[in-house]
């Protein structure tokens, strides 16, 4: 039984926001999450099914000064094909490259991957390492208003975000990293792609005079949302990535994650993976 009473595919942001203000709306873009979730019962359709895929304001990747603005409708394939992403945000390109299959990458959108808020969402880990912010639009009093929020704060729990019901996620903004920035992304599944991560790890830092500064470490699939590895970061900050530092950081990573056991991996196995793969990523950073 569906409660659907209206389907809309507006071609202007304002029109979509007016529909959202009326309430009880299910938003769809590529459909790659909404469709199976509607079959499993995880998503129950609201009164209105709002297809945002034809809204031009949500499309495209643009450089705005020292920031990349990635429209919510950007497909994972478009991320991979973007010269700006490949050259300046290679960690995001690496995550996109490990994302599902070509058929899914052609449909799945950046905005959808964010709003689905999976603890294992493939793009979320690199985006948080890169200090991304989400842009939300609403039209409460006849005019379009936008606000921004760090992505990490936006993610509230499995499948939950801090998007208000009348808001639409329009874009994600990613600061272009400074010179000397090094980053690595790692995803573990039983096969290279098309598998939900058992764990994923993102590390980013600025290398200055042989030391790592502004270190950001993010773990995916070990908590209700991707989480910052603050103890791991402290173990690395302002230190050269030598063997002793890497070992201490890998142990800190093992000790600070609190994964659950599920069908993909046991908690024990996830912690071992986090330690060993954090070590491997950092050894790779140390090699240059």
Partner 1 sequence: MSLAVEIEFRLNGVVRRATVPADMSALVMLRDVLGLTGTKYGCGEGECGACTVLIDGASINSCLMFAVDCDGREMTTIEGLAGDARAERLQRAFAEHGAVQCGFCTPGMVIQATRILAEHPHPDRATIQRGLEGNLCRCTGYKKIIDAVAAAAEQA
Min dist. Cβ of residue 217 to partner 1 (A): 29
Site residues for partner 1 per CB under 8 A: 2, 4-7, 9, 28, 30-32, 34-36, 38-39, 45, 49, 51, 53, 77, 100-104, 106-107, 192-194
Min dist. Cβ of residue 104 to partner 1 (A): 5
| The token pair that represents 101 in the structure block | 């299959």
Tokens 């991707």, located at residue: 226
Residue (49 or 93) nearer to partner 1, CB: 49
Residue (79 or 212) nearer to partner 1, CB: 79
Residue (112 or 202) nearer to partner 1, CB: 112
Query: Residue 230's closest CA among 270, 199, 257, 268?
Result: 257
Query: How far is Cα 109 from Cα 116, in angstroms, rounded to an integer?
Result: 10
Query: How far is Cα 150 from Cα 155, in angstroms, rounded to an integer?
Result: 9
Q: Are 74 and 110 in contact (CB under 8 A)?
A: yes
Q: Which residues pair with 62 in a beta bridge?
A: 69
Tokens 């030391």, located at residue: 211
Min dist. Cβ of residue 68 to partner 1 (A): 23
Min dist. Cβ of residue 4 to partner 1 (A): 4
Residue (15 or 131) nearer to partner 1, CB: 15
Min dist. Cβ of residue 72 to partner 1 (A): 16
Tokens 């058929």, located at residue: 103
Residue (45 or 269) nearer to partner 1, CB: 45
Q: In what order do the strands lie in the sheet with 67-71?
A: 61-64, 67-71, 168-175, 133-138, 145-150
Residue (7 or 268) nearer to partner 1, CB: 7
Query: How far is Cα 85 from Cα 99, in angstroms, rounded to an integer?
Result: 15
Min dist. Cβ of residue 118 to partner 1 (A): 14
Radius of gyration of the chain from its Cα atoms, rounded to whole angstroms: 19
């Amino acid at each position: 039984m569906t409660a659907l009473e209206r389907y809309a595919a507006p071609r202007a942001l304002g029109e979509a926001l007016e529909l959202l203000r009326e309430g009880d709306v299910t938003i769809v873009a590529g459909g790659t999450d909404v469709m199976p979730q509607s079959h499993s019962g995880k998503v129950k359709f609201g009164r209105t099914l709002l297809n945002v895929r034809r809204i031009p304001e949500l499309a495209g990747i643009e450089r705005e000064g020292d920031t990349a603005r990635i429209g919510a409708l950007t497909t994972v394939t478009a991320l991979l094909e973007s010269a700006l992403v490949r050259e300046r945000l290679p960690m995001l390109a690496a995550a996109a490259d490990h994302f599902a299959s070509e058929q899914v990458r052609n449909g799945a959108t950046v905005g959808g991957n964010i709003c689905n808020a999976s603890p294992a969402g493939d793009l979320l880990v690199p985006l948080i390492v890169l200090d991304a912010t989400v842009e939300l639009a609403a039209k409460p009093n006849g005019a379009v208003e936008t606000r921004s929020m760090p992505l990490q704060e936006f993610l509230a729990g499995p499948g939950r975000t801090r998007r208000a019901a009348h808001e639409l996620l329009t874009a994600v903004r990613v600061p272009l990293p400074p010179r000397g920035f090094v980053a690595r992304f790692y995803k573990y599944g039983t096969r290279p792609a098309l598998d939900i991560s058992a764990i994923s790890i993102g590390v980013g830092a600025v290398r200055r005079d042989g030391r790592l500064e502004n270190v950001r470490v993010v773990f995916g699939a070990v908590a209700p949302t991707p989480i910052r590895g603050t103890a791991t970061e402290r173990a690395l900050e302002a230190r050269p990535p030598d063997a002793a530092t890497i070992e201490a950081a890998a142990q800190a990573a093992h000790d600070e994650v609190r994964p659950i056991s599920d069908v993909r991996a046991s908690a024990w196995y996830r912690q071992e993976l986090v330690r060993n793969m954090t070590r491997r990523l950092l050894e790779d950073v140390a090699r240059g």
